[in-house]
Amino acid sequence: MTKKSINISELQAERKKFKPVLPDVFKKGVACISPVKGKTVRSLASVTDQSKLKEIFKNTYGLPKITFRKSRSVIVFKTPVKVAIVFSGGQAPGGHNVIAGLFDGLRENNKKNILIGYIGGPSGILKNKYKTISKEILKDYRNTGGFDFIQSGRTKIETPEQFSLLKNNLLANKVDALVIVGGDDSNTNAAMIAEYLKKKNLDKCVIGVPKTIDGDLKNKHVEISFGFDTATKIYSELVGNICRDVNSARKYWHFVRLMGRSASHITLEVSLKTQPNIVLIGEEILAKSMTLSKVVENITDVIVKRSYIGKNFGVILIPEGLIEFIPEMKELIVAINDILSVSIHDIAKLNSFEGKENFVLNKLPSKLYNLIKSLPANITSQFLLDRDPHGNVQLSFIDTEKLLLEMVHKELLKLGEAGEYKDKFLSVSHFFGYEGRCGIPSNFDANYTYALGYNASALLLNGFTGYLSSIKNLVKPPKQWECGGIPLTTMMNIEKRDGKDKFVVQKALVDLSGKPFKKFVENRDEWSMTESYISPGPMQYFGPKKIINMITKTLRYEHSKGFCE
């Protein structure tokens, strides 16, 4: 039976030849390193939360930081191991190189080591659905985007039955280590699985790998999650193209919503790369307790000021999760969710959407009733129609860019005399999201993900469990990157979800005191009134090193001593 080949483009064919650069510590392979145990890593959680975490994670809390150093002696791991890898959550560029790095690290140490991939995410573990990974079938996926090699999924392993099934399947397949590639929720799951297996006295390793294009899996131990670099370069090309177009046509306002469900990192990075006229950062809006009408007023002010000088055009960037950062909108969403959960059976009896809508709206407090009635009718329906499996509003389905566009237009018509803005304000809306999740990884992400996978092999071969594969010093060339592991529990805190305490890896929001945001604030007034647009162009894989190895501005500013380029 011959192996089915995959369809690849000319660029992909060339990218197959790309050889990721490993950090120097791995120059002679996993056998020629020694793990150095540092001090216990200080938890990011509060003192109160730490005591609760210690109770839950009795076997994996308080572990030391691990740093790998070159070793003169050669450690040969003679006993073959069987390792499983699984993708969890949304796609991010570079996932296939995590598999490649893990595979190469294992095989270079012992040709008898086996790597399998669970299919379709964590549900693949529960269904015991997997494929054995070989050099031959992996070769066409190196340096490619997407997760199509083993796919992904969003199943959470959290019930006693699921944990028991996971344990039984790992034992049945004689799996010695499990590598979970995912974001904050997925690595929370990794921490829970590591603790569970330890509690059951099973000698199995669980290693997490930081993945999310949203950039919200970040802290002092994780400089950047993989995929963020590639995705923001893709979005920046698209926004940069729009900036050039708007500066050419000079007659449209473009409202652009960018992916980023819980944080505005993508929007901030793209703004630093393209310099549009208006940029909304959700975390700032929350900090200032701004109302929706105030957000609309601020946008309108800039549009009017530009119109006074004959500039009836511009570009506005909006983070996907903006609605939840506006306090009154968050209150509205919570109220609607509560009504729907309590009255689900009563609502189901109503035949028309209009009847269901009136039922919900009439149960809202007058303040929230007036708020939702101020929204465009099509947006109101999105709050009520699109629900997730738990019955909650699906914020990613709310067309925030269209909401703001329509409300700004309405405000402009109120301000203008005799329809002054009727013909001056022409608008176009966009949502850039899925376009960035499966792009061919940048050189940075191709190197970073390969190193994360290779580093994961070093952690598990040395018997570590409950750790996140950690690569640091990322502003330096890859050869100088620092490798090791960070205990997953140190990144966890306790959040209230559905009225209950949940142990989760802490999401990183945009730091309003951080250098990237300060750089943005330093320039936004100038950008608002001028055409300081930058068009970064398409991502480059070949050419001058300065271009092909370019890192994000966010990472550059965070690790710089000043604001110098």
CATH code of the domain covering residue 215? 3.40.50.450
Token pair 């329509």: residue: 406
Asked if 220 and 346 sit in the same domain, the reply is: no
Q: pLDDT category, 111, cuts 50, 70, 90?
A: very high
Q: Which of 152-156, 469-473, 500-504, 540-544 has the lowest mean pLDDT?
A: 500-504
Query: pLDDT tens digits, residue range 230-274?
Result: 999 999 999 999 999 999 999 999 999 999 988 999 999 999 999
Domain termination site, one of 398, 427, 453: 398
Residue 206 located in a structural domain: yes
Q: How many domains does the chain have?
A: 3
1/12 Cα distance (integer angstroms): 25
Per the structure, the complete domain to which residue 74 belongs is given by: 41-227+441-497
42/63 Cα distance (integer angstroms): 10
CB contact at 8 A, 102 and 454: yes
Whole-structure pTM value = 0.94
CATH code of the domain covering residue 349? 1.10.10.480
Q: pLDDT category, 1, cuts 50, 70, 90?
A: very low
pLDDT > 70 in the chain, percent: 95
Asked if 102 and 202 sit in the same domain, the reply is: yes
Asked if 467 and 347 sit in the same domain, the reply is: no
Asked if 488 and 339 sit in the same domain, the reply is: no
Residue 449 located in a structural domain: yes
pLDDT number for residue 565: 41
CB contact at 8 A, 16 and 139: yes
Residue 179, token pair as written in the block: 């590598």
Tell which wins on pLDDT, 339 or 163.
163
Asked if 122 and 221 sit in the same domain, the reply is: yes
Query: pLDDT tens digits, residue range 341-351?
Result: 888 788 888 88
Residue 136 located in a structural domain: yes
Q: pLDDT category, 498, cuts 50, 70, 90?
A: low
Query: Above 60 in pLDDT, residue 4?
Result: no
Asked if 93 and 204 sit in the same domain, the reply is: yes
For the residues of 31-42, what is the DSSP string, one character each?
GGEEEEEEEEPP
Q: pLDDT category, 499, cuts 50, 70, 90?
A: low
Q: pLDDT category, 417, cuts 50, 70, 90?
A: low
- Residues labelled as active-site residues: 214
Residue 18 located in a structural domain: no
pLDDT > 90 in the chain, percent: 78
Shortest CA distance to 192 belongs to which of 163, 214, 218, 171?
163
Residue type, 512: L
Asked if 404 and 465 sit in the same domain, the reply is: no
Shortest CA distance to 68 belongs to which of 484, 461, 485, 487?
484
Asked if 193 and 53 sit in the same domain, the reply is: yes
pLDDT number for residue 2: 44
Asked if 416 and 470 sit in the same domain, the reply is: no
Q: pLDDT category, 560, cuts 50, 70, 90?
A: confident
Query: Above 90 in pLDDT, residue 496?
Result: no
Q: pLDDT category, 497, cuts 50, 70, 90?
A: low
pLDDT number for residue 544: 95
Asked if 88 and 201 sit in the same domain, the reply is: yes
Asked if 247 and 295 sit in the same domain, the reply is: yes
Q: Span 367-377, mean pLDDT?
A: 91
